[in-house]
Amino acid sequence: MVKNIITIALLILIVSCGSNSKQPDLDVVAVDSLNLIPYPQSIEKGDGYFKMNEEVYFFFSEDISAEGWKVMSSFFDTCSKKVKLNLEADSDANTCHIILSEDFETPENSVEAYQLDITNNNLTLTAKTVTGLRYGIQTLVQLREQTYSKTESAYILPAMNIVDYPRFQHRGLLLDVCRHYFDLGVVLKYLDAMEYYKMNVLHLHLTEDQGWRMPIEKYPLLNEISSWRLDTNGNKYGGYYTKEDLKYMVDYAAGRNITIIPEIELPGHSQAALAAYPQLSCNGGPIEVVDDWGVFKEIYCAGNDSTFTFLEDVLTEVMEIFPSEYIHIGGDEAPKFRWEHCSKCQKRMQDEGLKDEHELQSYFIKRIEGFLNENGRKLIGWDEILEGGLSPTAAVQSWRGMDGGKQAAETKHEVVMSPTSHCYLDYGLGSIDLEKIYSFDPIPTDLAKEYYSYIIGGECNMWTEHVPDEDNLDSKVFPRMIGLAEVLWTYPEQRDFNDFYRRLQNHYPVLEELEINYGLETIGATLTQEFRDTGVFIILNKNLPDLTLKFRWDNAQDTNYLNYETPIQLIRSGKLQVQALKNGKPYGNVIEQEFVKHSGLNKTVTYATEYNEWYTGNAEKNLVDGKTGSIDFRDDNWQGFWGNDIDVTIDLGERQNFIGVSANFYQYANSWIFSPKRVTMQVSLDGERWHEKETQTFTFVDLSNNKSIQKVQFHSDRMLGYLGRYVRLTVESIGKVPDGHEAAGQDSWLFIDEIIIQ
């Protein structure tokens, strides 16, 4: 039954025109060749085509006039501009109809579902809500990009039937505008791109240690002081959005089916706010807005009632602008040092019967959540908010792997998955490339099916510590965000990376129209190794099917690149340089890896202490694979030990004379990675009696945020050097992160790359 109603319970957009006689010689894009992203759940091929040309009339009712005009504008250059605002059928040829109906049954009970049916003389788009209708329109917009025929001066759409709906309801991008500020135009550009790929949540990270980006009328110093910092050159840096900017942003997003979820960090990551209002801290200041990256000890005082008054005032003004169901409060990386030494916080713990500072954080979060609930909103926070327990209405965003999300789902809390392993766009392509993002599944493999519904979706997170400008931002986000868009929309059985990659190539002109300076899909090649009886062989793996690879050694006499065909045996020390090519042109930068040929290469290593699962490198071969680590500790050449010393033994297979043993260690206090306190080298003939022993001790502990590599060497001053079959290296860490560091008292990391025996 067709009804012309303003309240939309069911929407059907019907576009029909006079019958097109099938022309076998007409160039029609095959359904299998369409480049739709995200890929629909179901596509059935039809017979024939639908021609969209200037003979077409449009009919739609006033209550969906915005959507009707959007369809028209998508095909404006070839369609007529004749519109009839009614729902009555028109028998004239070459007419189109946009009507409302109540007959469509929504697939999977999804309010975002739509159906697009194209035949020789009809194009029908069906949806139950305006939301679903708009997603169908985006599919039409993508078809427009791919089906224009110059010879016909019309759009020739192949006959087909699409039934489509998203797998997950939360499909998001986190944008950090605090570490580096990006103006309103950048945000609007991203909203346009998100609409095109059916993403529906912009998680806007508005407050941090390095900046506060939203005006609060009751607290003007947040913009006068907290929104600005001095960079390393003494220049003032920062900015903020006006309330008018934010309201426009929210309205702009809503018109594109996108909800903006604001994040106001608490109780940690709050140093910018405390710089303006130090009375809300535990020690009363003075405090400065940070011009550095990491976790800082300044935190809102949990024992001060004025802290909660301030935060409730802030959140009240936030809620006036952002209508989202959820308000994100952060809750991550909240160091407890200030609370441990604050009499007011300790009194709060005593008064509330809290056993430790973790329960104090839970008290803090729950008190804020109560305020949000009283105002009809819900709280979402990072997975640290699980510590101390959650209220029934709180949601969790899991970033430290999948376990926090799994735990939350099993206690029936809604979960957004964005683990560092797959979803952090600030990580380089060597760690997370397009294919790795595309392989992501927000449902943990060991989660029982009864809890699947609590995993409401995922986000890719764009943190901007090292992303100072728009071009850099674009190249980090795109095209990787598009991969996650398909992951969160399309069910796994409909997905294939090679097909997605093919479709993606045709979307780059769209990004160019949006003035997005997109980056690469991946690094051109990865290096793996085979360990054979005859030696170590280097395998170059092209990371995309349409690439070719060339290589050379930087210390070889022939400086020309060679075509890679078979594994390369490691017979020399030096730097291997690899260049990928796409369509004969360089794809990305030259990939360089330093190799060392030494006596311990490919020997057996025994570990008395275990390396951490997050930084395995080449596993049991990592210390004898010939590869040395770079200044990027995530380059997969470093092996990490967390809260552990290192105790390893290398079996050379037979007695040998060697003159030296060396190893590299990583130093980066910002990531809790410290050079060793003591390194001892021992040599044995039988692996039981250790008759050689040399030790080097280091007393200086570097607390700066400089990255460096420390080389430790043991060199024999005897003519014959050392004699032995076994070499043992024991490395003592500094233990806990030392005082003076924001994470004082936490376990520290040791990172080692290769034990070189010469």
209 within 8 A of 290, measured Cβ to Cβ: yes
Mean pLDDT of 655-662: 93
Q: Amino acid identity of 693? A: K
The token pair that represents 654 in the structure block: 């037979």
2 has pLDDT over 50: no
527 within 8 A of 578, measured Cβ to Cβ: yes
Q: Per-residue pLDDT tens for 616-632? A: 999 999 999 999 999 99
Q: Per-residue pLDDT tens for 378-399? A: 999 999 998 877 888 899 999 9
Looking at the domain covering 604-757, what would its CATH class be? mainly beta
Judged by average pLDDT, the poorest of 64-68, 329-333, 591-595, 640-644 is 64-68
Q: Per-residue pLDDT tens for 435-489? A: 999 999 999 999 999 999 999 999 999 999 999 999 999 999 999 999 999 999 9
Interatomic CA distance for residues 326 and 234, integer angstroms: 38
Q: Per-residue pLDDT tens for 182-213? A: 999 999 999 999 999 999 999 999 999 999 99
Q: Per-residue pLDDT tens for 425-436? A: 999 998 899 999
63 has pLDDT over 80: no
Can you give the pLDDT at residue 153? 79
474 within 8 A of 495, measured Cβ to Cβ: no
Interatomic CA distance for residues 562 and 575, integer angstroms: 15
Can you give the pLDDT at residue 101? 52
Q: Which residues contact 248 (CB under 8 A, 6 or more apart)?
A: 184
CA angle 437, 400, 443 (to 5 degrees): 55
20 has pLDDT over 70: no
When pLDDT is cut at 50, 70 and 90, the band that residue 122 belongs to is confident
Judged by average pLDDT, the poorest of 85-99, 150-164, 249-263, 606-620 is 85-99
Q: Per-residue pLDDT tens for 663-684? A: 999 999 988 999 999 999 999 9
750 has pLDDT over 50: yes
**How distant, in Å, are the alpha carbons of 170, 534, 566 from that of 530?**
42, 10, 12
When pLDDT is cut at 50, 70 and 90, the band that residue 24 belongs to is very low
Interatomic CA distance for residues 132 and 107, integer angstroms: 11
549 within 8 A of 588, measured Cβ to Cβ: no
> What pairing do the DSSP bridges indicate for beta strands 591-595 and 639-642?
unpaired
Mean pLDDT of 120-136: 85
End-to-end CA distance of the chain: 86
602 has pLDDT over 60: yes
530 has pLDDT over 70: yes
Closest CA to 639 of 679, 681, 661, 609: 609
Can you give the pLDDT at residue 104? 77
99 within 8 A of 59, measured Cβ to Cβ: yes
Can you give the pLDDT at residue 100? 45
Closest CA to 724 of 679, 682, 696: 682
Alpha helix locations (H) across 197-270? 221, 243-254
364 within 8 A of 370, measured Cβ to Cβ: no
Mean pLDDT of 173-189: 98
72 has pLDDT over 90: no
| Dihedral sign computed on CA atoms, order 280, 284, 286, 292 | negative
Can you give the pLDDT at residue 149? 83
Q: What is the mean pLDDT of the chain?
A: 89
| Omega prior to 107 cis, within 30 of 0 | no
Quote the strand ranges of 39-97, DSSP E. 42-52, 58-59, 83-84
68 has pLDDT over 70: no
Reading phi first (left if > 0) and then psi (alpha if -120 to 50, else beta), residue 188 is in: alpha
Longest dimension (CA), the chain: 103
Interatomic CA distance for residues 412 and 686, integer angstroms: 57
% of the chain surpassing 90 pLDDT: 73
117 has pLDDT over 60: yes
Interatomic CA distance for residues 605 and 531, integer angstroms: 13
Closest CA to 205 of 226, 236, 185, 176: 176
Q: Which residues contact 453 (CB under 8 A, 6 or more apart)?
A: none
57 has pLDDT over 70: no
The token pair that represents 693 in the structure block: 């022993």
Can you give the pLDDT at residue 83? 46
Mean pLDDT of 555-569: 86
When pLDDT is cut at 50, 70 and 90, the band that residue 125 belongs to is confident
Mean pLDDT of 250-261: 96
How many angstroms from the chain centroid is the CA of residue 57?
A: 44
5 has pLDDT over 60: no
18 has pLDDT over 50: no
The token pair that represents 502 in the structure block: 């093919």
Interatomic CA distance for residues 516 and 499, integer angstroms: 23
Mean pLDDT of 687-706: 89
609 has pLDDT over 90: yes
DSSP string, 287-300: -----S-S--S--B
Mean pLDDT of 130-143: 90
- CATH topology for 170-513 is TIM Barrel (3.20.20)
Q: What are phi and psi of 378, to 5 degrees?
A: -120, 155
Mean pLDDT of 729-747: 90
Looking at the domain covering 525-595, what would its CATH class be? mainly beta
When pLDDT is cut at 50, 70 and 90, the band that residue 69 belongs to is low
> What pairing do the DSSP bridges indicate for beta strands 525-532 and 562-563?
unpaired
Q: Which residues contact 594 (CB under 8 A, 6 or more apart)?
A: 574, 575, 576, 627, 628, 630
Q: Which long-range contacts (CB under 8 A, 24 or more apart) does 588-592 make?
A: 588/520, 588/523, 588/524, 591/523, 591/524, 591/525, 591/527, 592/554
CA angle 552, 555, 556 (to 5 degrees): 60
- CATH topology for 11-164 is Chitobiase; domain 2 (3.30.379)
The token pair that represents 578 in the structure block: 């690899």
Neighbours of 367 (CB within 10 A): 15
Q: Which long-range contacts (CB under 8 A, 24 or more apart) does 362-370 make?
A: 362/387, 362/388, 362/389, 363/302, 363/388, 364/266, 364/267, 364/300, 364/302, 365/329, 365/331, 365/394, 366/391, 367/308, 368/266, 368/308, 368/311, 368/312, 368/315, 368/329, 369/329, 369/393, 369/394
Interatomic CA distance for residues 481 and 579, integer angstroms: 26
301 within 8 A of 363, measured Cβ to Cβ: no
Instruction: Break the chain into its structural domains and give their ranges.
Output: 11-164, 170-513, 525-595, 604-757
Interatomic CA distance for residues 749 and 737, integer angstroms: 9
Q: Per-residue pLDDT tens for 483-495? A: 999 999 999 999 9
31 has pLDDT over 70: yes
Mean pLDDT of 625-649: 94
